[in-house]
């Protein structure tokens, strides 16, 4: 009931009319619970398969089989669910945790995010991938996978079908990386510290990072978590930067590069980013640390459930026929090339920071 009330309030502020929303939302809510049950199944959990993957699969089945899609379209409010989930996510990212993450972990995250994001965007443009795909793809590879792709999509008002493709790539590619990277690290004779930093900086889902770190050992898991968390902390800053970048890059009219008025940046700027940052500031500086940490775990669960609703909605709105054309193969090639660069580049940075300079 709480989720329904929040959704209806959000729907009111967006100016949309409920109409078929209640029926569609109720059924989507039940499917989101089913996705959580599936992800909690031990064999799936051991593989690092996250709930959003099951949510997306369920949504795709609904959207492409039978006529159920028509009945649920009113409740498939992807953008609303994503924004609510991201604002709640801000409450789980505390500024004080920058110190906990460690200086080298934060330094590595900044270096990797900047270089890998720009390389991924450059490769995407070379492969003639459109800017929406390129921006979401670059963020997913360089920052923190699913959450970064969602935040970037919201910041640029990206196509939800494109987002679903990128999320699928992130989740699918993370599985072999989770299994083979610890083996490769052991074969190369890397220390547990370097291995953990490498895993945390390249694997794009938190569940897969934890699973891979566990394979390495306690030390490897610690460093993998530190680096991954450092990247998560950068999410709000990155979303803000991408919003401003997008406003300047996508000027309409002639091809001349004119100065963009601040009012235009404000109009295009996604207001949910302010909610994300406000939640982070509130829980970082105005709430007792112990209370913020303990409540953050519960809030993160709520945030994840809103993402589950969003991915079922994305699946419902996605048609398999739209994903079969040749043009959609280019983002896949771009993603794989960027991820390959990420693996090599992050290994070098991890080795220099956690082996040479440590």
CA neighbor of 159 nearest in space, from 330, 337, 333, 318:
318
Q: Is the pLDDT of residue 249 over 70?
A: no
Please give the pLDDT value at position 115: 93
Residues of the chain above pLDDT 70, percent: 75
| Euclidean distance between CA atoms 272 and 315, whole angstroms | 23
- Looking at per-residue confidence, does 340 or 247 come out higher? 340
User: Tens of pLDDT along 107-127?
Assistant: 888 898 899 999 999 999 999
Q: Residue ranges per domain, the chain?
A: 2-356
CA distance 105 to 201: 9
Crossing angle between the packed helical segments 206-216 and 218-233, to the nearest 10 degrees: 160
* Highest mean pLDDT of the ranges 176-185, 249-258, 274-283, 338-347: 338-347
* Predicted confidence (pLDDT) at residue 160 exceeds the cutoff of 80: no
pTM of structure: 0.66
Flag whether pLDDT at 260 surpasses 70: no
Task: Find all residues with CB under 8 Å of 326, minimum gap 6, and list them.
Answer: none
Per-residue pLDDT reduced to its tens digit, 289-337:
788 878 887 887 888 788 788 778 877 776 666 555 545 678 889 999 9
Q: Is-contact 160 314, C-beta < 8 A?
A: yes
Check pLDDT > 80 for residue 1.
Answer: no
Q: What is the pLDDT of residues 326-351, one digit of tens each?
A: 456 788 899 999 999 999 999 999 99
Instruction: Give pLDDT tens digits for 142-154.
Output: 887 777 887 788 7
Q: Please give, one letter per residue, the 3-state secondary structure of the chain.
A: CHHHHHHHHHHHHHCCCCCCHHHHHHHHHHHHHHHHHHHCCHHHHHCCCCHHHHHHHHHHHHHHCCCHHHHHHHHCCHHHHHHHHHHHHHCCCCCCHHHHHCHHHHHHHHHHHHHHHHHHHHHHHHCCCCHHHHHHHHHHHHHHCHHHHHHHHHHHCCCHHHHHHHHHHHHHHHHHHHHHHHHHHHHHCCCHHHHHHHHHHHCCCHHHHHHHHHHHCHHHHHHHHHHHHHHHHCHHHHHHHHHHHHHHHCCCCCCCCCCCCHHHHHHHCCCHHHHHHHHHHHHHHCCCHHHHHHHHHHHHHHHHHHHHHHHHHHHHHCCHHHHCCHHHHHHHHHHHHHHHHHHHHHHHHHHHHHHHCC
Least confident range of 1-15, 237-251, 269-283? 1-15
> What would the pLDDT profile of 55-82 be if each residue is shown by its tens digit?
878 888 887 776 776 677 677 777 778 7
């Amino acid at each position: 009931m709480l989720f329904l009330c929040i959704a209806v309030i959000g729907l009111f502020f967006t100016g949309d009319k409920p109409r078929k929303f209640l029926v569609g939302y109720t059924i989507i809510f039940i499917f989101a619970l089913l996705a959580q049950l599936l992800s909690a199944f031990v064999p799936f959990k051991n593989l690092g398969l996250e709930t959003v993957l099951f949510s997306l699969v369920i949504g795709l089945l609904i959207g492409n089989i039978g006529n159920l899609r028509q009945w649920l379209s009113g409740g498939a409010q992807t953008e609303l669910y994503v924004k609510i989930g991201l604002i709640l996510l801000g409450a789980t990212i505390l500024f004080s945790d920058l110190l906990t993450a460690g200086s080298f972990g934060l330094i590595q995250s900044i270096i990797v995010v900047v270089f890998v994001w720009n390389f991924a965007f450059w490769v995407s443009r070379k492969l003639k991938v459109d800017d929406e795909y390129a921006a979401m793809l670059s963020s997913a590879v360089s920052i923190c996978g699913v959450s970064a792709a969602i935040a970037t999509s919201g910041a640029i008002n990206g196509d939800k079908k494109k987002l679903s493709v990128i999320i699928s790539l992130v989740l699918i590619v993370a599985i072999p990386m989770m299994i083979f990277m610890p083996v490769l690290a052991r074969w190369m004779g890397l220390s547990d510290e370097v291995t953990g930093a490498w895993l945390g900086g390249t694997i794009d889902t938190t569940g897969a990072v934890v699973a891979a770190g566990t394979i390495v050992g306690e030390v490897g898991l610690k460093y993998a978590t530190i680096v991954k968390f450092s990247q998560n902390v950068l999410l709000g800053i990155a979303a803000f930067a991408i919003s401003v970048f997008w406003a300047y890059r996508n000027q309409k009219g002639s091809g001349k590069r004119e100065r963009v008025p601040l009012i235009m940046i404000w109009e295009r700027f996604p207001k949910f980013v302010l909610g994300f940052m406000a939640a982070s500031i509130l829980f970082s500086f105005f709430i007792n640390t112990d209370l913020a940490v303990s409540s953050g775990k519960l809030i993160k669960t709520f945030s994840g459930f809103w993402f589950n609703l969003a991915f079922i909605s994305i699946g419902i709105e996605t048609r398999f026929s739209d994903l079969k054309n040749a043009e959609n193969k280019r983002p896949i090639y771009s993603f794989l090339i960027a991820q390959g660069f990420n693996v090599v580049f992050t290994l070098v940075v991890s080795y220099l920071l956690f082996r040479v300079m440590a």
